[in-house]
């Protein structure tokens, strides 16, 4: 799913490799043209509005993170986004050294996003940023020109932004004249291995320029990724499972490397992952929320119950801390509390990176991809190349999958079609695909397709979710039926969107008819792209959801996490059927010690009844009847959860949400992990996920009240075990 922004470059020279540029300083023999550390551009002449009133202090609003510049400021033409244009021209200077070097990033267009050296009104040297396609990085890279033939002549530097749209900006810093020749760039650098061990370990440096890394097997290209390789000391090691090619020749080819880079030389073969002894022990590793062992994860994909296991596929960048190189990672659980990771199932191919989708068990083998005795598990996903299409893969053992030889199964509708959710619709006896499609003028829709065999699809209907301002039905749709209040005689269909909003209505196998739309799902922050499990046995009957929990883990070799598994129900309210969200019961298996109080009355200024019970991982449950002016405050590991009875409002670390009392009573469930709170209130009608990183040594647990007294009918405090360090029951 998601679009970010990769990489090709004319002359790439890394900052850390230049001995003449330590900590952004020139040597005695160097001549500094500009370091852009002032409040204004001084004598430089500005046209247009792209460059703002002066050098930028790093990243600008709406821009991906900018790094690799010296000092505190740089030239950054993203001042009004990619739509702004302009030029920035230096005063004349004399060329006094053999080389001019500078840092550059942004768009790659030799005419519209570039730096020019001008002599006698003519451009004699030109350089661009590295980015011209989706993905990419805002890291500035060192570039240099040999200007020895111009020594003694007068010249000007001109920084140009005449581009709009994606990568329509340029970043520049630290322009220097020097006599020291920078390290040279080598292209298509290779190293070969005979594969004898399971893993190839790759050195990663967060924020380094992304290099195109191609893996060839016996000379045939197998996979290509954009990787932030470490030229020297890595921040962490990524691992590639190469066991399928044991005994064969594997070649790693990198499109561009400096001649003094140690990236290729440091790659090793091992039977275990480098750094694997620290898996799940890292300081910011959530202990009962799933996260991938290494690299970035985002959307949950292909949630399905198969062969006695809950399967969680997910968007994964195994070779970077940030978004990119989209694979489908894969993990399984038998109890929804303990997870085992199995490596990547789908890798980028000729159709593009592997964006989001879903999974189903083809019990009747309608696809012919298995047998009735061994029904196939079918993965349906977006291949986000050009064009962007829908595709499938399948397998019968829940571990090994083959991409369908006749992919794609649905051609591109628009460039913004993605995230297929597929279900079996029993009444009509056919498959239904729910696909997000962005139509012109950013109009968000869901297209419904039907199929008899999962391979051939026919458009059945279109549900319009509104325009850009509505932000409804944007990406990652899900569709499922729920009983209302558990009554088999009453059922409604629920259509959800990536931001958690949902609609309730009816579905006849062709058309979804909404009775209520734009209903809020979660009420917190950092929750996105949730999906629900398919094929949970009817004897269980639950609808279980997992969402992407956006919890940045700076300094760790992994990034982001998933919510705990959530049970969804439809319950009757005065406004109609609404979703109730609660943590699944299986999480109770992580409780290690518990304290329970009943009929507990607390008065303002009274003793904290849960003093001394704080711990790193904690669950608090409470049912209480507040007075008219009661404010009940839970302080957990420095985080603040407060209920104000007069306002009937819940405050979580300053984030406020309305939670009305029900029959004069409030109920709360609070889960606290190393990177987040998840809070459930008002009989589950209010779910508040909240990224939060408490201090490691803060295990405080405080409960106090102000205003009026409060009667707790029940108060429970549970200390939780790590899901990673305890066996599955």
CA–CA distance, 320 with 323 (Å, rounded to integer): 7
Query: Catalytic: which of 173, 299, 344, 419?
Result: 299
Around Cβ 554, how many Cβ atoms within 10 Å? 9
**Helix%, strand%, coil% for the chain, nearest 5:** 0, 50, 45
CB 383 within 8 A of CB 408: yes
Calculate the alpha carbon distances from 283 to 391, 697, 703 in Å.
38, 11, 27
Whether 299 is catalytic is yes
* 3-state secondary structure (DSSP) of residue 21: coil
Sheet of strand 443-451, all strands in order from the earlier edge strand to the far edge: 417-425, 430-439, 443-451, 458-464
CA–CA distance, 570 with 573 (Å, rounded to integer): 9
| Helices H / strands E in the chain, number of each | 0, 51
* Cβ neighbours for 572, distance < 8 A, ≥ 6 positions apart: 484, 485
Calculate the alpha carbon distances from 11 to 93, 125, 182, 483, 709 in Å.
24, 12, 11, 62, 70
7-33: buried (b, 16+ CB within 10 Å) or exposed (e) per residue?
bebbbbbbbbbbebbeebebeeebbeb
The closest alpha carbon to 145, from 13, 7, 25, belongs to: 13
* 3-state secondary structure (DSSP) of residue 278: helix
The closest alpha carbon to 514, from 463, 559, 471, belongs to: 463
Q: Concatenated DSSP letters for 119-171?
A: ETTEEEEEEE-SB-SSS-----EEEEEE-GGGTTSEEEEEEEE---STT--EE
Q: Concatenated DSSP letters for 522-564?
A: B-SSSEEEEEE-B---TTT--EEEEEEE----TTSSEE-EEPP
CA–CA distance, 278 with 283 (Å, rounded to integer): 10
Around Cβ 135, how many Cβ atoms within 10 Å? 17
End-to-end CA distance of the chain: 35
CA–CA distance, 347 with 327 (Å, rounded to integer): 5
Would you name the residues annotated as active-site residues?
299
């Amino acid at each position: 799913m998601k679009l970010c922004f990769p990489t090709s470059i004319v002359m790439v020279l890394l900052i850390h490799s230049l001995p003449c540029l330590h900590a952004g300083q020139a040597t005695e023999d160097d001549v500094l043209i500009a370091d852009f550390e002032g409040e204004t551009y001084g004598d430089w002449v500005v046209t247009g509005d792209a460059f703002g009133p002066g050098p930028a202090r790093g990243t600008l609003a709406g821009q991906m993170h900018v790094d690799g510049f010296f000092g505190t400021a740089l030239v950054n033409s993203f001042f009004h986004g990619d739509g702004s244009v302009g030029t920035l021209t230096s005063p004349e200077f004399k060329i006094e050294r053999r080389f001019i070097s500078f840092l550059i990033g942004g768009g790659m267009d030799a005419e519209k996003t570039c730096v020019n050296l001008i002599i006698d009104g003519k451009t004699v040297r030109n350089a661009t940023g590295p980015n011209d396609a989706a993905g990419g990085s805002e890291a500035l890279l060192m570039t240099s020109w040999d200007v020895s033939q111009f020594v003694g002549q007068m010249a000007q530097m001109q920084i140009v932004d005449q581009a709009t749209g994606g990568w329509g900006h340029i970043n520049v810093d630290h322009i220097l004249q020097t006599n020291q020749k920078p390290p040279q760039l080598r292209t298509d650098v290779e190293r070969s291995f005979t594969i004898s061990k399971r893993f190839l370990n790759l050195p990663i440096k967060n924020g380094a320029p992304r290099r195109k890394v191609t893996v060839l097997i016996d000379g045939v290209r197998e996979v290509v990724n954009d990787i932030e390789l470490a030229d020297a000391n890595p921040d962490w090691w990524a691992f590639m499972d190469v066991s399928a090619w044991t005994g064969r020749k594997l070649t790693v080819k990198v499109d561009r490397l400096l001649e003094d880079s140690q990236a290729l030389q440091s790659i090793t073969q091992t039977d275990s992952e480098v750094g694997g002894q620290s898996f799940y022990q890292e300081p910011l590793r959530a202990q009962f929320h799933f996260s991938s062992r290494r690299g970035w994860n985002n959307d949950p994909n292909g949630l399905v119950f198969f062969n006695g296991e809950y399967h969680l596929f997910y968007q994964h960048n195994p070779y970077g801390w940030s978004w990119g190189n989209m694979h489908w990672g894969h993990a399984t659980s038998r109890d929804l509390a303990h997870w085992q990771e199995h490596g990547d199932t789908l890798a980028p191919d000729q159709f593009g990176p592997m964006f989001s989708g879903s999974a189903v068990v083809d019990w009747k083998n309608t696809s012919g991809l298995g047998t009735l005795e061994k029904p196939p598990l079918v993965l349906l996903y977006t291949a986000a190349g050009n064009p962007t299409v829908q595709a499938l893969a399948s397998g019968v053992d829940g571990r090994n999958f083959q991409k369908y030889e006749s992919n794609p199964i649905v051609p591109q509708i628009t460039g913004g079609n993605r995230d297929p959710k597929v279900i079996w619709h029993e009444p009509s006896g056919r498959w239904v695909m729910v696909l997000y499609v962005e139509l012109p003028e950013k109009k968000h829709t869901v297209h419904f397709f039907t199929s008899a065999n999962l391979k051939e699809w026919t458009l059945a209907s279109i549900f319009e979710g509104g325009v850009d301002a509505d932000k409804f039905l944007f990406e990652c749709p899900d569709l499922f039926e729920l009983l209302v209040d558990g009554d088999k005689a009453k059922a409604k269909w629920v259509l959800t969107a990536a931001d958690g909003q949902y609609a309730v209505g009816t579905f006849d196998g062709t058309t979804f008819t909404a009775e209520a739309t734009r209903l809020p799902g979660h009420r917190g922050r950092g929750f996105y792209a949730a999906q629900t499990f398919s094929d949970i046995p009817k004897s269980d009957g639950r609808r279980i959801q997992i969402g992407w929990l956006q919890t940045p883990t700076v300094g760790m070799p992994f990034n982001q996490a998933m919510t705990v598994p959530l049970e969804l129900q439809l319950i009757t309210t005065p406004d109609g059927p609404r979703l109730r969200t609660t943590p699944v019961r299986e999480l109770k298996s992580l409780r290690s010690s518990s304290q329970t109080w009943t009929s507990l009355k607390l008065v303002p200024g009274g003793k904290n009844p849960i003093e001394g019970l704080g711990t790193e991982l904690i669950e608090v449950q409470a049912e209480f009847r507040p007075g008219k002016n009661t404010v009940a405050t839970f302080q957990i590991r420095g985080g603040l959860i407060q209920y104000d009875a007069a306002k009937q409002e819940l405050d979580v670390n300053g984030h406020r949400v309305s939670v009305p009392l029900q029959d004069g009573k409030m109920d709360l469930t609070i889960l606290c992990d190393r990177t987040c709170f998840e809070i459930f209130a008002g009989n589950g009608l209010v779910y508040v996920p909240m990224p939060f990183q408490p201090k490691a040594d803060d295990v405080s647990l405080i409960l106090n009240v102000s205003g009026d007294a409060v009667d707790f009918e029940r108060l429970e405090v549970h200390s939780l075990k790590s899901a990673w360090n305890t066996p599955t029951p």
